[in-house]
Structure 1
Amino acid sequence: MQSIVNKPTLSFWQLWNMSFGFFGIQFGFALQNANTSRIFSTLGALPDDLPLFWLAAPVTGLLVQPIIGYLSDRTWHPTWGRRRPFFFIGALLASFALLAMPHASAIWMAVVILWLMDAAINVSMEPFRAFVGDKLAPSQQTAGFAMQTFFIGCGAVIASLLPTFFSDVLGVSNVSADGGIPDTVRFSFYAGGSIYFLAVLWTVISSEELPPQDLQKFEQQRAASQGIAAAVREMVSGFMHMPETMVKLAVVQFFTWIALFAMWIYTTTAIAEHIFATTNSQSSSFQEAGNWVGTMFAVYNGVSALAAFLLPVLAKRSSKKIVHMLCLLAGGAGLISIYFIHTQLWLLLPMLGMGLAWASILTMPYALLASSLPQEKMGYYMGVFNFFIVIPQIVSGLLLGWVTRHWFDGHTVKTLMLGGSCMIIAGLLSLMIKEEAAA
């Protein structure tokens, strides 16, 4: 249970400022999610190999987030605070990686840059979750995570549409010349690197952090936990004594993130084959499919941004776990329905359900979790919670290629159906979570 600390109620604009950095962070993630498989395929990757190349992202998160959470819990600077140093450093490194990604000329280069990009994004992202727990009383935490979800949706909508904007509005070439990455994707990543850094910088400058209640005790505890051995012992002990709410959420997260990983990996190839009738990654039809997937992802992220403000209202009238269940069921049904759609425009309909699911995935698990965590280990446990996001992605990366080839004869649209089924299972499992009463 979180320790009771009197925290001031923040205004709308204070919530806005402390969450605005997520607009930039999601710019990076959205460009990665919508374009990584497209980049790999353009550089010659086979569909069966895509999950293995994507392993860079979850493995990096598995290693980075608990460490960053542990370190940020033990950081305090009179000017920079506790979490903001990590916001700034991560944003700087992620921006450089985004600028470098479109210059990859071989698959191995794209994989290496993906590793670096995801590590940097995780450095800035993980403390943002703990930031809400640090600054907000439990009664405001759902609103805080919802504000983050709003900015995640807004950033993702714009980032997902950038390749289409550059090609259709500005006339930039969307053709893969000599097997290279199209200029539309290059310019999108250039814009993303700049916006990422500036958005996070706004939060760093405009938000303050609460100092530890007892600064002297904090310094003593920090000194006692210095050293690798002490850090490892404390991290293992925390992992073995996770709150019950966190354990149950872990099971829900496992099935949820199998579905999301399947969607991010295979939507481009699925839509290219299922709707645009091509498996040739060098063809103009394949690149058109890539742009349309960006539009689809923009729709689900746009719905997510709008739903972010509705979810706290619905949660107060029912419960967080009921809202989460209904949203996951809508998302799972949306993914499954793609198989039955054969018209390009109708593909936007399933994205409405995915938008509701994505809004809830980014809000409800963290709101359910934050009120059950000890305040002094907020960053660490938020990092550990990431295990249950990246572990299913690693499992998916190792197995989905084999499943797609041997179960579905290479038809990746059926892999999307499998992901939708997993999301429905996650929704039903949400009912077993016990909610803590908000203070």
Structure 2
Amino acid sequence: MKKQKPQLSFWQIWNMSLGFMGIQFGFGLQNANVSRIFETLGASIEQIPILWLAAPVTGLLVQPIIGYMSDRTWNFLGRRRPYFLIGAVLSSLALIIMPNSPHLWIAAGMLWMLDASINISMEPFRALIGDNLPSQQRTQGFAVQTFFIGIGSVVASSMPYILTNWFDIANTAPAGVIPPSVKISFYAGAAVFFGAVLWTVLKTREYSPKELHEFDGTQEIIKEQAAQSGLRTMINDIKLMPKTMKQLAFVQFFSWFALFAMWIYTTSAVTSHIYGSADASSALYNEGADWVGLCFAMYNGISALAAFALPWLAARSSRKMVHAVCLTIGGISLAGMALVEDPALLMINMVGIGFAWASILCMPYSILAGSLPSSKMGFFMGVFNFSIVIPQILAAGVLGYITQTFFAGNAMTALILGGASMVIAAGLTLFVTDQDDPQEINKPAADTAAA
């Protein structure tokens, strides 16, 4: 007979999620500054998407493997926490090295290292929420993660602007040299990443494999199964992935195609469309690039605030309905950037994108976790990452060609395509089966029969 997982206090969930702030600090610096670093080191507009391939490809390879390994790990640090710590150490080193890259190929290599290391830490964090929280607290758990993701990204994205405008640190440098404001931001990111993850490692308790078996009623992984070929086991598990996971994969595909288009093209679109400069060494370009960092801080700040509203909204409608509405708002806001000429007005668009980002970080995982066995939570969360990285690989492969061939290199068209993609994701969300939604489980029998 299955035992019910006990509910955790808010502060236990808080400690369990704090490490994600450090992870997202690293991601925030990456998303807001890597295109700027590439352009500073001589990359052309059509090269940038290919250089960004490092991020999704490493996620495609690393997350399922780390998930599979963490499902089968148990030592003095626990099940997921060893991977938090290893990833934090490697990510911090990459953050220190990247802004000091003397050549474009070194910066591209550091992006591979950074993203692989971030993925080592990040995937087990998703699984930890599924491991430790009962269904009625899961949306809250992912919402708290989303809050920390937002806080980390706000500070990380705005760091170069803050250093330049508050502390008078230069945001320009000779051609081919990364500005001091960007370098110092990456050094700060390394310290925050490691410190936040270490806090979670020291403050969080994990359930043992025996306890998890008592909670979900599944068979523990026995020695004979663990001795099987890991590749064979992973392939068999992929074939048996839950229906909900397959449905969510299509939603994720279109959502993350849109996000990747935004991350790699917003700097180029804003600096050329609004600031009128494509010269990465000019003061006007760097002013625009700093403003993009503030825009990214804005949408992440909105997501941090929206995270607390999502569980309340989901409890009064449904998780998938909230997700569909947020994606629609985000898609319209992203495409609508093409209509903006005053940089200050971009902040309105960022509000809508912030709601979408909050939901993307929370709702799909909250829906998915309820359909997964705890003994394979890490692996399936890693496989679910395929639906995130494959659209990014596609975007990196085709967006550069599309914008150059059909739109004369106009980066703003990539943002319009991204907005349309996010609206498609909203429509697909309505067809997802959320079998573990407390709202569905608690429906009166008459209502369920009528449905």
TM-score for the superposition, normalised by structure 2:
0.94
2:140 aligns to what?
Answer: 143
Deviation at 1:400? 0.7
Paired residues, number: 435
1:168 aligns to what?
Answer: 165
Alignment pair present for 1:406 and 2:400: no
Amino acid at match of 1:179: G
CA 1:157–1:220: 2 relative to 1, 3 Å:
closer
Contact 1:62 1:391 in 2 (8 A): yes
1:99 aligns to what?
Answer: 96
Contact 2:210 2:220 in 1 (8 A): no
Cα RMSD (Å): 1.7
Alignment pair present for 1:309 and 2:308: yes
Amino acid at match of 2:366: A
Structure 2 distance, partners of 1:71, 1:20, is 23
Contact 2:212 2:374 in 1 (8 A): no
Structure 1 distance, partners of 2:206, 2:20, is 17
2:108 aligns to what?
Answer: 111
Equivalent residue of 2:119, what SS? helix
Structure 2 distance, partners of 1:407, 1:386, is 31
Deviations 1:87-117 (A, max 9, x none): 0110011011001111111110001000000
Deviation at 1:223? 3.2
Deviation at 1:213? 2.1
1:192 aligns to what?
Answer: 189
2:42 aligns to what?
Answer: 44
Deviation at 1:370? 0.3
1:236 aligns to what?
Answer: 235
Amino acid at match of 1:131: L
Sequence identity percentage:
52
Alignment pair present for 1:263 and 2:271: no
Equivalent residue of 1:411, what SS? coil
Deviation at 1:241? 1.1
CA 1:289–1:219: 2 relative to 1, 3 Å:
same
Amino acid at match of 2:185: S
Alignment pair present for 1:417 and 2:416: yes
Contact 1:90 1:120 in 2 (8 A): yes
Deviation at 1:216? 11
Deviations 1:75-97 (A, max 9, x none): 011x3110000001100110110
Deviations 1:209-247 (A, max 9, x none): 0111269999983533446x6100110011111100000
CA 1:223–1:138: 2 relative to 1, 3 Å:
same
Equivalent residue of 2:47, what SS? helix
Equivalent residue of 2:205, what SS? coil
2:446 aligns to what?
Answer: none
Contact 2:220 2:375 in 1 (8 A): no
CA 1:244–1:290: 2 relative to 1, 3 Å:
same
Deviations 1:130-162 (A, max 9, x none): 000110011110000000000000000001110
The 5 Å alignment of 1:61-72 reads 61-72=59-70
Match of 1:23 among 17, 21, 24: 21
Contact 1:42 1:176 in 2 (8 A): no
Deviation at 1:28? 0.2
2:379 aligns to what?
Answer: 380
1:273 aligns to what?
Answer: 272
Contact 1:27 1:192 in 2 (8 A): yes
CA 1:406–1:369: 2 relative to 1, 3 Å:
same
Equivalent residue of 2:208, what SS? coil
Contact 1:74 1:222 in 2 (8 A): no
Equivalent residue of 1:271, what SS? helix
Q: After the TM superposition, which parts of structure 1 deviate over 4 Å for at least 4 consecutive aligned residues? A: 214-220
1:224 aligns to what?
Answer: 224
Contact 1:225 1:231 in 2 (8 A): no
CA 1:296–1:216: 2 relative to 1, 3 Å:
closer
Structure 1 distance, partners of 2:213, 2:244, is 31
Equivalent residue of 1:363, what SS? helix
Amino acid at match of 2:348: L
Contact 1:83 1:128 in 2 (8 A): yes
Deviations 1:148-182 (A, max 9, x none): 00000000000111000110111111112232000
Contact 1:176 1:182 in 2 (8 A): yes
CA 1:44–1:386: 2 relative to 1, 3 Å:
same
Structure 1 distance, partners of 2:42, 2:146, is 35
Structure 2 distance, partners of 1:418, 1:430, is 19
Match of 1:54 among 49, 52, 55: 52
Deviation at 1:434? 1.1
Equivalent residue of 2:292, what SS? helix
Equivalent residue of 1:416, what SS? helix
Deviation at 1:22? 0.5
Structure 1 distance, partners of 2:220, 2:2, is 21
CA 1:226–1:174: 2 relative to 1, 3 Å:
same
Deviations 1:275-334 (A, max 9, x none): 100111121111111100000000000000000010011001000111000000011011
Amino acid at match of 1:224: E
CA 1:396–1:5: 2 relative to 1, 3 Å:
farther
Structure 1 distance, partners of 2:239, 2:82, is 29
Contact 2:212 2:375 in 1 (8 A): no
| Structure 1 residue runs without a partner (length 5+) | none
TM-score for the superposition, normalised by structure 1:
0.97
2:6 aligns to what?
Answer: 8
Structure 2 distance, partners of 1:57, 1:274, is 26
Amino acid at match of 2:173: S
Structure 2 distance, partners of 1:64, 1:174, is 34
Amino acid at match of 2:221: Q
Deviations 1:165-200 (A, max 9, x none): 110111111112232000010000000000000000
1:180 aligns to what?
Answer: 177
CA 1:220–1:256: 2 relative to 1, 3 Å:
closer
Structure 2 distance, partners of 1:219, 1:185, is 50
